[in-house]
Amino acid sequence: MGIDGRDIFLISPELSMLGLAVLVVGIDFVVKRKGFVLLIGLLGLLVPLVAGINVWGEVHASGPETAFNGALIVDKFALYFKFLIMGILGLLFISAWGYADRFRPYQAEFHGLMLFSSTGLMLLPAAGDLITLYVSIELASLPVIALVAFTKLRGKSTEAGVKYFVLSAVSSAVLLYGFAFLYGATGTLRLVSDDPLDPAIGHILAVSTSTAAFGGTGVLVGAVLATVGFGFKLSMVPFQMWTPDVYEGAPTPVAAFLAVASKAAAFGIVLRLFYVALEPASSDWSFMFAGLAAVSMTVGNVVAIAQSNLKRLLGYSTIAQAGYLLIGVAAVADRSREVADGVLGIESVLFYLGGYAAMNLAAFLTVIAITERTGDETISGLAGMSKRSPLLAAIFSLSLISLMGIPPTVGFMGKLFIFNAAINADLVWLVVIGVVNSVVSAYYYMNIIRNMYINSAADSSPISVPMPSWGGLMVASGAVVVLGLWPGGLLELARTAALSLL
């Protein structure tokens, strides 16, 4: 079967994003006004957005489809992540408008690399086989390596780029080795397949008579190595060592991109691989992820207490947040239950990822706005911020309160749904650990708020923020409140996407 127009239509969001990346980089050669080039990059995101909406309507009518002979899966689960990544990228482009001035004359290359990486992230949750999965990861990772080391204002940027490059290469090698074991044990690369002559991994495991863990030693080794490889992308303990160093050294918009967009896409393919391809062994990997969730939450929160740098603290915060999300991954109910219970864990993860994007972006965008004016990335540098910029202090406090999980924010609703899914999956002990860790996290989050509202600063001059940055901050902080008070809309989208995995 060859490639036809239908295949092109189904991946039109990714093709539009790729074309936009090429356009932004190419037009920079003929247009001298850099602001015009960046405006094209921002407005151009409407093209993949419209393409995604069109595909969503088609999928709603005809059900999930595959493109390029099964290499890509086009369903509402994949589209959910595409919309999420496009929204994240749009907010970063708006809020980093002034920040990109420090990259003169390479702003177009900076935005182009983010667009190239986003193309890979959009393909990742739609991967239909292990080869496509691996290629998508590399397409997403290679541009980020350059982005991390993009600025030469500080030596830490180059150091962070080298660290990310080395550890990314090692994790990719481990991941590929795990895929080799999965292929050797099952004889197929397919995650999803309707072809009886080329069955999917899940079908092979379902008909296997082996009583060993994961259906056999080969699958066990492959699943563990794949978890190690994905653990790097997820900032999951014990594979989180790169996170605080890279976040501190990278340009702040790139750190935000890694913390939100990259993590969301990685969780998407983890759900696709384990919930679909390795579903027959769910009782085995569910326990594995439960243990990793407990360790990640605890290490991230405890180590964050000792941090004095804002970006390093947010790095450890993302490690802890990965632990909360892993609770939902572990809380995969038995398929013998009703459909509503069968997707409860996945639904809660998708909702939390949407809320996590809003509250984490609000935090990072505030850090961009403040540090761009003060040049100080320490927590003590926030002293007196409530007087220098009351609105920035309020938005930052709101994002931190949401990360703690305090109502009426989306962070509270997200944790509520994830903990509920875990209780339904008989993981009460994991919920207890999650609640305790939420209390621990309140210590270092409240310390930041205390610095802004109680401590006084030597410099009391007001902080001005460009209008585009205010737009991004308002959207992100507004989503934190709106999704906390009225979570129904996002929850329904998450449920629709989760059901499409079945």
| pLDDT tens per residue across span 408-422 | 899 999 999 999 888
Counting the structural domains of the chain, the total is: 1
Q: Is residue 301 in a domain?
A: yes
The residue ranking higher by pLDDT, 215 or 474, is 474
Q: Is residue 97 in a domain?
A: no
pLDDT in the model for residue 336: 37
Query: What gap in Å lies between CA 230 and CA 137, rounded to an integer?
Result: 10
pLDDT in the model for residue 297: 93
Q: Is residue 450 in a domain?
A: yes
pLDDT over 90 at 351, yes or no: yes
pLDDT in the model for residue 339: 41
Percentage of residues in the chain with pLDDT exceeding 90? 25
Q: How far is CA 394 from CA 314, 317, 374, in A?
A: 18, 19, 18
Q: Is residue 84 in a domain?
A: no
Tokens 């450890």 belong to 316
Query: Rounded mean pLDDT of the chain?
Result: 84
Residue 220 confidence class, pLDDT cut points 50, 70, 90: confident
Residue 215 confidence class, pLDDT cut points 50, 70, 90: low
Domain extent, residue 497, equals: 281-502
pLDDT in the model for residue 341: 46
The whole-model pTM stands at 0.90
pLDDT over 50 at 122, yes or no: yes
pLDDT in the model for residue 208: 65
Tokens of 35: 């602001």
Rounded mean pLDDT, 264-283: 83
Q: Is residue 335 in a domain?
A: yes
- Reference 484, options 433, 416, 434, 435; nearest CA is 416
Q: Is residue 405 in a domain?
A: yes
Across 259-263, 284-288, 337-341, least confident range:
337-341
Residue 278, C-beta contacts closer than 8 angstroms, at least 6 positions apart: 201, 202, 205, 214, 219, 223, 285
Across 72-76, 110-114, 334-338, 423-427, least confident range:
334-338
Q: Is residue 54 in a domain?
A: no
Rounded mean pLDDT, 235-240: 86
Helix axes 282-304, 217-234, angle to 10 degrees: 30
Residue 121 confidence class, pLDDT cut points 50, 70, 90: very high
- Reference 251, options 137, 382, 452, 98; nearest CA is 98
pLDDT over 80 at 20, yes or no: yes
pLDDT in the model for residue 480: 92
The residue ranking higher by pLDDT, 304 or 212, is 304
Rounded mean pLDDT, 250-275: 88
Across 52-56, 102-106, 417-421, 453-457, least confident range:
102-106
Residue 61 confidence class, pLDDT cut points 50, 70, 90: low
pLDDT in the model for residue 212: 58
For residues 430 and 293, the answer to whether their CB atoms sit within 8 Å is yes
94-106 confidence digits (pLDDT tens) = 887 777 667 667 7
Q: Is residue 483 in a domain?
A: yes
